[in-house]
Structure 1
Amino acid sequence: MNNQPHEHIVRSYDEEQQRLVGELLRMGAMAAAQLEAALDVVERRDDNAARRVVDNDEAIDALEHETSQDVIKLTLRGPLARDLRQILAALRIASDIERIGDYAANVAKRSIALNAAPPVPHTRGLRALGVLALRQLDDVLAAYRDGDAEAAQRVHEADAELDAQYTSLFRELLTYMMEDPRNITSCTHLLFMAKNIERIGDHATNIAENVWFLVHGGDGLPPRDKRDGTASL
């Protein structure tokens, strides 16, 4: 019996799966670059560069659409249980990366409004928060690339550090606003930007949960240690 047609189908399917992983990693790298650029334009107070970051979000949206189409093609090939997990995880991860790109664009967009007000020192705190989120994103993309559930779990646990730093910055900005009402406009913009970055961390942990699901199936990660205390302030 000639198994060549079957082997060709399996090989083709594996190649398509690898291409899907590559697309998601490329999409994730684009989102990480967007976040890094957004943090940079906040520090440099560069409106033109901020607008470029906002415009670049369309490329991530287009890649998410392309990834969804590839997922549909794989689904039609009659995948097995492991392949179904790959497909479901890919759909979720693509959605999370697209939202990360949106939040990075929001930071850049808000920076244009921030630049209309006098400079405030708290952009350094925003940068530090962004660096944490960027590290989470880089680490979780590596975990997805390597199929490393333990690395994904570490990203999941590290979100507590980002939450704690977000809460600290939130307190600092509120204090600064109360001490001098002239800072209310600038600090309000920074509060929104900080929340966008905190949400990026949440989406990175969503990706971590999907990496865990991809490797282990239905056994979910334990609940996250949430340290976002802003609701009580």
Structure 2
Amino acid sequence: MDTRSGFHHSLDALQKQLLDMGQSVEQLIHNAVDSLSRLDLNLAKEVIDSDDAIDEAMRHIDELCLRLIALQQPMASDLRIIGTALKIATDLERIADHAVDIAKITIRLNGQELVKPLQDIPQMAEIVKEMLRESLLSYTERNVHRAASLADKDDRVDKLYSGIMSDIVALMGTDITKNKQLTHLMLVANHLERVGDHTTNIGEGVIYMVTGKRKDLNV
């Protein structure tokens, strides 16, 4: 295998590792919100325990990227691909952290009943999971239009977030325990809103990778 073929083989391996990490992170988001909706402590603990595997996946990606830079003498366009992969891995790790934080809230609510069944929070979760899939597809396809479309989905997430904040404030009263739970639900919505921002970060990275130009998708 010549040097250039070996380089492209390594890029393919890098892409696969990113996609595998992305799928794992998406599952963490799903499980974290599901654990909250059903107040399932065992599922919440599984999410928290899975965080080490995500950190390990990020370390493997970092090491592969650094080896590619050190050993393969990549061209400018190749460096953008590698640099984008590093940034994607960082965003994925931070998304996983948000999932873990949601799972920790589930544990804090142990012994309580939800003040009302969750509706908008699971809807937010579905949209950000879709955004995550789209952002990773935009990377593998080198698809600028798919990356740019994340802005519209992020607007939907932001509108749901604003609605949740308004609804929670309206439910607050003099019951301290209820207010504490409502504050936790605010935090959950905030975590999901931040997940949406991380996926737009990935989209922005893809646009720069392909075009060499910066574009803000989170405005």
Q: Tell me if TM exceeds 0.5.
A: yes
The separation in 1 between residues aligned to 2:35 and 2:121, in whole angstroms, is 12
Q: Which runs of 5+ in 2 are unaligned?
A: none
Q: Structure 2 residue aligned with 1:34, among 28, 34, 39? A: 28
When the two structures are aligned, how many residues end up with a matched partner?
218
Counterpart residue number, 2:147: 152
Q: Could you tell me which residue of structure 2 aligns to residue 137 of structure 1?
A: 132
SS in 1 for 2:113: coil
- Contact 2:151 2:200 (8 Å CA) reproduced: yes
- Alignment match, 1:85: 80
Match of 1:124 among 106, 119, 133: 119
Counterpart amino acid of 1:84?
A: L
Amino acid of the structure 2 residue aligned with 1:42: L
What amino acid does structure 2 have at the position aligned with 1:118? E
How far the C-alpha of 1:48 sits from its partner, in A, is 1.1
Counterpart check, 1:99 vs 2:94:
yes
User: Which position in structure 2 is the counterpart of 1:224?
Assistant: 218
Q: Report the counterpart of residue 49 of structure 2 in structure 1.
A: 55
Compute the RMSD of aligned alpha carbons.
Answer: 1.5
Task: Kindly state the Cα deviation for residue 74 of structure 1 after the two structures are TM-superposed.
Answer: 0.5
In structure 2, do the counterparts of structure 1 residues 122 and 188 end up closer, same or farther at CA, with 3 Å as the change threshold?
farther
The one-letter code of the counterpart of 2:20 is R
Q: Which residue identity is paired with 1:168?
A: G
Question: Equivalents in 1 of 2:50, 2:99: separation in Å?
Answer: 10
What is residue 16 of structure 1 aligned with on the other side? Answer: 10
Aligned to 1:3: none
- Which of 191, 202, 206 aligns to 1:211? It is 206
1:71 aligns with 2:57: no
Question: Which residue pairs with 1:166 in the alignment?
Answer: 161
- Higher gyration radius (CA): 1
Deviation track 1:16-37 (CA, whole Å, cap 9, x = no partner) reads 0111111111111110010011
What letter corresponds to residue 32 of structure 2 in structure 1?
A: A
Deviation, 1:223, is 5.3
Deviation at 1:179, TM superposition (A): 7.3
Which residue number in structure 2 is paired with residue 178 of structure 1? Answer: 173
Question: Once the two structures are superposed, what CA deviation does each residue of 1:9-56 show, in whole Å capped at 9, x if it has no partner?
Answer: 110000001111111111111100100111111112110111011100
Hey, what's the Cα distance between the residues in 2 that align with 1:128 and 1:115?
Answer: 23
Structure 2 vs 1, CA of residues 15 and 221 (structure 1 numbering), >3 Å: closer, same or farther?
same
Distance 2:217 2:206 in 1: 15
Per-residue CA distance 1:109-133 (angstroms, 9 max, x = gap): 1111123322221522211111111
TM-score by length of 1: 0.89
What is the percent sequence identity of the aligned residues? Answer: 30
Q: Which amino acid aligns with 2:157?
A: L
Partner deviation per Cα, 1:39-80 (whole Å, 9 max, x = no partner): 111112110111011100111110000100000000012100
Give structure 1 stretches of 5+ with no counterpart.
1-6, 226-233
The structural deviation recorded for 1:222 is 4.3
Which residue matches 1:229?
Answer: none
Distance in 2, Cα, partners of 1:17 & 1:179: 57
Distance 2:122 2:2 in 1: 50
